[in-house]
Amino acid sequence: MRQWEKERGRRRCERIRERERERESEYMKQVREKEYSCLRERKTSYGSMEKNRRLMYEIKREREREREAREKKREIDVEKLINCSQRERWKRRKRLRNSERGGREGGKERERERERERERERERDVHRKQ
């Protein structure tokens, strides 16, 4: 794989990550604003506001950890895609499609079902002939 293709893949991942960060920060602003407006309406004490702020911070940190884990997994997947050959890519795509359709086992199950249907047809034919 050529260097410029690797770079292109990395830049694309960076743009995707940046968009995700922007979306998440917008969402967090909205959530924070909603929280504070609810608190203002209820006229809650500063202590409970502080507690809510801590809870929000913990939630935000947890989301950040999850996002980083997703990013890392995606990076690994992208690296695999970048570094693998065309044939491996084709195999991976095929595997993905098969897993979406129920995989190999699903195919075997369908084949067994077809075989049972053929057996029933044969039995019906035998009964018709008699």
Computed from CA positions of residues 84, 90, 91, 94, in that sequence, does the dihedral angle turn out positive or negative?
positive
Average of per-residue pLDDT values in the chain: 78
Instruction: Compute how many other C-beta atoms are within 10 angstroms of the C-beta atom of residue 47.
Output: 8
pLDDT in tens, 2-46: 888 888 888 888 888 888 888 888 888 888 787 777 666 665 566
Q: What amino acid is encoded at 107 in this protein?
A: G
Q: How would residue 68 be classed by pLDDT, with cut points 50, 70 and 90?
A: very high
- Whether 5 contacts 81, CB under 8 Å: no
The full set of domain ranges for the chain reads 3-83
- Whether 67 contacts 24, CB under 8 Å: yes
- Whether 6 contacts 71, CB under 8 Å: no
pTM over 0.75: no
- Please tell me what DSSP assigns to residue 23: H
Which two three-digit tokens encode residue 41? 């309406």
